[in-house]
Structure 1
């Protein structure tokens, strides 16, 4: 039996000033389930996700993910985080199938059975052998999301996950979020302007109130 709201990420004493993202001696706990990160202008939620991913460095403070401190062992920390910026071109030359294989090699808990269900639920079968650069913005986002849920990563970060998705895909993604929230084993941090429909939230971080 799992424990509800298990602490996954402990944030202690963060100091950062990057663009509009300014935090001073900021501490929080990210628990298992779904946490919403929002700000009124939508200008710094992405940088906040990049901070949690270890892409942005804080001037002070620490991030401790399942016992691994990012500032001490960035590689071990990164192996527990799934984060892909929606507009990245890093994987453009890979086929979708090769991208999934790469992600499976990165995450010890990658679930191939879950991936198969996600590919079906997001209608990605016709695109498996296409290069990612050939895909529409919505289909690219579906590829990132399918890998996110299949990754098994302790901390999964999604930025505007429903943007550019068709209605049936958006509904499917929301159902996956709700299932993850109920499982209580992983932390999903969603950057968005509003709460995802019918998804129970563990917490909400309003960045506007921190600025």
Structure 2
């Protein structure tokens, strides 16, 4: 079971991380702490942002070191760890028959702090209402991203991971997302929640609790 961190304790603790691919090392003895709030992982293409998020999600195991979320080890306690995380690779394909509504109906069972109120607000903010009954594969890349972002923000997950969240978004949706992230950073509704954003630039003046450059 998860527990709330003390005021000075990180939500996510990474110690001595090692990971890479044959002939290409991404991380060696890499350590970082991420507190509650909004954090940025900044780097260009090929710097390992997505690989790092997969490690943080418990989807990929580190080759060295440890990743712990409120004291739960991603390798030794995989089920407990992943139950506290919201992550879906935005580039992964969607099942043919899945609609935004049928997908979202499954999420409260996995995310106990799911907020239907927040989901509805983000659906309105992203202009998604007309798309909710369509199969996901029929939606544009931008609309698929908006569905994913709305669900991520509504999940209330202790660790929420967003990979290049501005990709494929139109200007009004970018403006809405930045406002939503700022509101999330300042909210006290979900104490102890860490939202990690991986992006190639600094995303303006958002109130980052931590900023990591790759």
Q: TM-score, normalised by structure 2?
A: 0.89
Cα distance in 2, alignment partners of residues 44 and 34 from structure 1: 20
Moved over 4 A (4+): 2-6
CA contact (8 A) 1:115 1:146 kept: yes
Cα distance in 1, alignment partners of residues 8 and 92 from structure 2: 31
Q: What is the deviation of 1:18?
A: 3.0
Q: Among residues 23, 27, 33, which one is paired with 2:27 in the alignment?
A: 23
Any idea what SS the aligned residue of 1:204 has?
A: strand
| Structure 1 residue 197 corresponds to structure 2 residue 204 | yes
Paired position in structure 1 for 2:143: 139
Paired position in structure 1 for 2:48: 44
Paired position in structure 2 for 1:99: 103
- Structure 1: segments with no counterpart, 5+ residues: none
Give the stretch that moved more between structures: 46-55 or 129-138: 46-55
| Structure 1 residue 67 corresponds to structure 2 residue 71 | yes
- Structure 2: segments with no counterpart, 5+ residues: none
Q: What is the deviation of 1:197?
A: 2.2
Q: What is the deviation of 1:150?
A: 0.5
Any idea what SS the aligned residue of 1:17 has?
A: strand
| Structure 1 residue 53 corresponds to structure 2 residue 57 | yes
Q: Among residues 182, 185, 206, which one is paired with 2:186 in the alignment?
A: 182
Cα distance in 1, alignment partners of residues 145 and 96 from structure 2: 13
Give the stretch that moved more between structures: 182-191 or 52-61: 182-191
Task: Give the number of aligned pairs.
Answer: 206
Seen in structure 2, the aligned counterparts of structure 1 residues 17 and 42 have a Cα distance that, compared at 3 Å, is closer
Cα distance in 1, alignment partners of residues 90 and 80 from structure 2: 23
Any idea what SS the aligned residue of 2:209 has?
A: strand
Q: What is the deviation of 1:92?
A: 4.1
Q: Among residues 84, 88, 91, which one is paired with 1:87 in the alignment?
A: 91
Any idea what SS the aligned residue of 1:104 has?
A: helix
Q: TM-score, normalised by structure 1?
A: 0.90
